[in-house]
């Protein structure tokens, strides 16, 4: 690691000779592998962008020149080269550095990101801002071929192409889709030729000469140039957007990357460099199976990822995937849709068994929802498997295309609530406030895996839009009966524990989702009643009012934004009937959650048992009374 240890920031990197860069890349790749194997994190994507990252920081004057990453899960090499090597041991841990770019973390992180397809829009804004202020700087956006499937990326390309004053370079990191010609000597030669001044000057001179020719002749020459180029490089599409296209080029060949980027640095206007990389590059196990090594936990890099000795409890995503396959047997109208989250959403088995009824639409959440609406219009029963944080990107489509038309689309919302190491950008905080205000929508929150299956059956049976929100990972281990296709009574809650406390000391905890089990533990300490609310919309208003009439205080608990959340719905329902029973609403705070272990985060925001106990005692000391010593210490923790 001798070379890598000398690099404290990109200024040190630029002091190296070009022939030292491959050795640095090798050390950087080994450092990433060693780090991620200890901390967990994104691996395949980061191993694939090592040389590209080295070349970009070597050629461009970062952070004066702006480097904007798309998604950001491939920026570990970037973090290491920009002064955060010593902090990599804290990667994605509570109080440590983020797994994504964050503006507050480093001046080299010019734009915070963790969602897809935003880089070109942000970079164009930066480039035009520099132009309007008279500042000379380069702006580079790095976008993957997967992120390019997002409609926002094409909107940005379309806009950028009409701004020749924008000093913008888009680097297309092609590491998966078969959209490029074979990479070899000819393509390397073409990339260097097309990026050089000679080609650009010759083409511009030819255009000037032909401008005095009759218009038909000029148009013919223009078309001949574009189509001749299209025979050897797949750049016609980008040229039509107004970009100068260069590539494809081997993204692991620094002897080609560096001079090509140097040529492009000297040019201006919108241009696009197409580089071809391989996920997991340099680590054979990740190269062979980039999906398994996409976001691993801790593992031995010599042995690779091994299956656990003891089979883990099924995750909610697995419960959903099994339910989907079971429904498909009984109803051939079922169609499953995912915006590029097949593995994460538990759809692998379904995609293999029912390929004709499975649609991965790419990173295009808006399209996924409206596509589902179109299917529903024709009598099919679409199920959209989507993460809570990604559903936000299709909110307009949920409203206009599904809810207003009252179409039977079921949203299976994964990663609802605290997600852990991915932090604020992936926290499923806002689906409850967003969906509960929409007419026609039924919104459910299961307390465990078995109830999740029941709610999926319930939502699927309805003749209108519905959603089931469930957390990441496994639940309490509730036994799931795959033969059970029963449905719940819509809007009916479930009393799980009745308080035996005397009048004046009665508290009822109304739990939405898996926090039910934490509430039950707290209730034993307080002799409180506990209601599994099940339905966020419609609420079980009758049981809610009964609890208000028979208890001295109510506590609502949810793993979602407390502002506008399920607790707010309860307060509104009580106010509508002029109830004066005091209510304490607990949930995710009005703040962005940090990344880290979910247990730590839950404790930090007061949604663990000790936190609930503390909040209840602090708000209702006269009702709760004095707690026994151990409980008092827990409440004060």
What does the pLDDT average to over 350-377?
A: 96
Amino acid 177: pLDDT: 46
Six-digit token string for 501: 């406390």
What does the pLDDT average to over 448-473?
A: 97
Q: What kind and span of H or E run contains 554?
A: strand 553-561
Report the C-alpha gap between 584 and 526 in whole angstroms: 15
pLDDT digits (tens, 9 = 90+) for 502-536: 998 999 999 999 999 999 999 999 999 999 999 99
Amino acid 179: pLDDT: 36
Report the C-alpha gap between 217 and 579 in whole angstroms: 81
Report the C-alpha gap between 434 and 441 in whole angstroms: 11
Do residues 257 and 187 touch, judged by C-beta distance below 8 A? no
Active site residues: 279, 365, 393
pLDDT digits (tens, 9 = 90+) for 46-74: 999 999 999 999 999 999 999 999 999 99
Do residues 56 and 21 touch, judged by C-beta distance below 8 A? no
pLDDT digits (tens, 9 = 90+) for 585-611: 999 999 999 999 999 999 999 999 999
Query: 302: which DSSP letter?
Result: T
What percentage of residues in the chain have a pLDDT greater than 90?
82
* Residue found by looking up tokens 């260097």 in the block: 192
What percentage of residues in the chain have a pLDDT greater than 70?
89
Partners of 561 in beta bridges = 588
pLDDT digits (tens, 9 = 90+) for 161-213: 999 999 999 999 988 643 333 345 544 554 565 566 545 555 555 555 555 55
Do residues 285 and 445 touch, judged by C-beta distance below 8 A? no
pTM equals: 0.90
Amino acid 217: pLDDT: 59
Do residues 109 and 419 touch, judged by C-beta distance below 8 A? no
pLDDT at residue 30 is higher than 50: yes
Q: Dump the DSSP string for 107-147.
A: TT--S---SSS-HHHHHHHHHHHHHHTT----EEEEEETTG
pLDDT at residue 312 is higher than 90: no
Residues in the chain: 637
Report the C-alpha gap between 635 and 542 in whole angstroms: 32
Tell which residue, 72, 56, 71, has the closest CA to residue 273: 56
CA dihedral 404, 407, 408, 414 (to 10 degrees): -50
Q: What kind and span of H or E run contains 5?
A: helix 2-5
With cut-offs at 50, 70 and 90, classify the pLDDT of residue 226: low
| CA 588, 594, 595, 600 torsion-angle sign | negative
Least confident of 160-169, 482-491, 628-637: 628-637
Amino acid 231: pLDDT: 45
Burial of 64 (0-12, 13-18, 19+ CB in 10 A): exposed
């Amino acid at each position: 690691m001798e070379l890598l240890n000398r690099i404290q920031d990109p200024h040190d990197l630029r002091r190296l000779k070009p022939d030292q860069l491959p050795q640095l890349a090798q050390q950087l790749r080994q450092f990433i592998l060693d780090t991620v194997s200890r901390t967990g994190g994104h691996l395949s994507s980061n191993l694939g962008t090592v040389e590209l990252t080295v070349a970009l920081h070597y050629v461009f004057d970062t952070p004066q020149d702006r480097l904007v990453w798309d998604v950001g899960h491939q920026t570990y090499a970037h973090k290491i080269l920009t002064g955060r090597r010593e902090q990599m041991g804290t990667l994605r841990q509570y109080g440590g550095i983020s797994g994504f770019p964050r503006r507050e973390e480093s001046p080299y992180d010019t734009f915070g990101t963790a969602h897809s397809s935003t880089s070109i829009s942000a970079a164009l804004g930066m480039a035009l801002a520099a132009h309007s202020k008279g500042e000379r700087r380069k702006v580079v956006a790095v976008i993957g071929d997967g992120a390019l499937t997002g409609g926002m990326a094409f909107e940005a390309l379309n806009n950028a192409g009409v701004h020749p004053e924008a000093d913008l370079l888009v680097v297309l990191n092609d590491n998966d889709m078969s959209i490029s010609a074979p990479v070899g000597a000819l393509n390397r030669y073409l990339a260097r030729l097309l990026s050089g001044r000679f080609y650009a000057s010759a083409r511009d001179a030819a255009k000037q000469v032909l401008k005095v020719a009759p218009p038909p002749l000029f148009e013919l020459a223009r078309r001949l140039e574009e189509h001749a180029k299209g025979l050897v490089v797949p750049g016609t599409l980008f040229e039509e957007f107004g970009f100068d296209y260069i590539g494809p080029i081997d993204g692991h060949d620094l002897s080609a990357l560096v001079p090509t980027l140097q040529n492009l640095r000297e040019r201006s206007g919108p241009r696009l460099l197409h580089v071809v990389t391989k996920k997991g590059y340099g680590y054979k196990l990740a190269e062979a199976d980039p999906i398994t090594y996409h976001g691993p936990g801790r593992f031995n890099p010599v042995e690779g990822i091994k299956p656990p000795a003891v089979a883990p409890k099924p995750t909610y995503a697995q419960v959903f995937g099994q339910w989907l396959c079971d429904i498909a047997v009984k109803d051939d109208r079922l169609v499953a849709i995912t915006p590029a989250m097949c593995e994460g959403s538990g759809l692998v088995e379904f995609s293999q068994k029912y390929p004709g009824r499975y649609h991965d639409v790419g990173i295009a959440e808006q399209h996924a929802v409206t596509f589902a609406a179109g299917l529903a219009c024709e009598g099919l029963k679409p199920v959209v498997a989507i993460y809570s944080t990604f559903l936000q990107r299709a909110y307009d489509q949920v409203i206009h295309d599904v809810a207003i038309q009252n179409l039977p689309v079921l949203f299976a919302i994964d990663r609802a609530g605290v997600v852990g190491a991915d932090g604020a950008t992936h926290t499923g905080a806002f689906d409850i406030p967003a969906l509960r205000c929409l007419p026609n929508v039924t919104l459910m929150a299961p307390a465990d895996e078995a109830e999740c299956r029941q709610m999926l059956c319930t939502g699927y049976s309805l003749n209108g839009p519905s959603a089931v929100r469930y957390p990441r990972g496994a639940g309490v281990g509730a036994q799931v009966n795959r033969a059970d296709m029963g449905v719940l009574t819509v809007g009916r809650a479930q009393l799980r524990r009745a308080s035996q406390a005397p009048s004046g000391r009665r508290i009822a905890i109304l739990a939405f989702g898996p926090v039910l089990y934490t509430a039950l533990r707290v209730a034993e300490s307080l002799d409180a009643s506990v209601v599994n609310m099940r339905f966020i919309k419609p609420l079980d208003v009758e049981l809610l009012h009964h609890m208000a009439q028979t208890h001295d205080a109510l506590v609502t608990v949810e793993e979602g934004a407390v502002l506008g959340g399920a607790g707010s719905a309860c307060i509104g329902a009580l106010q509508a009937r002029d109830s004066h029973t005091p209510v304490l609403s607990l949930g995710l705070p009005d703040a962005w959650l940090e990344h880290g272990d979910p247990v730590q985060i839950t404790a930090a925001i007061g949604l663990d048992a000790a936190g609930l106990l503390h909040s209840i005692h602090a708000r209702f000391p006269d009702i709760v009374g004095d707690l026994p010593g151990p409980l008092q210490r827990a409440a004060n923790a």
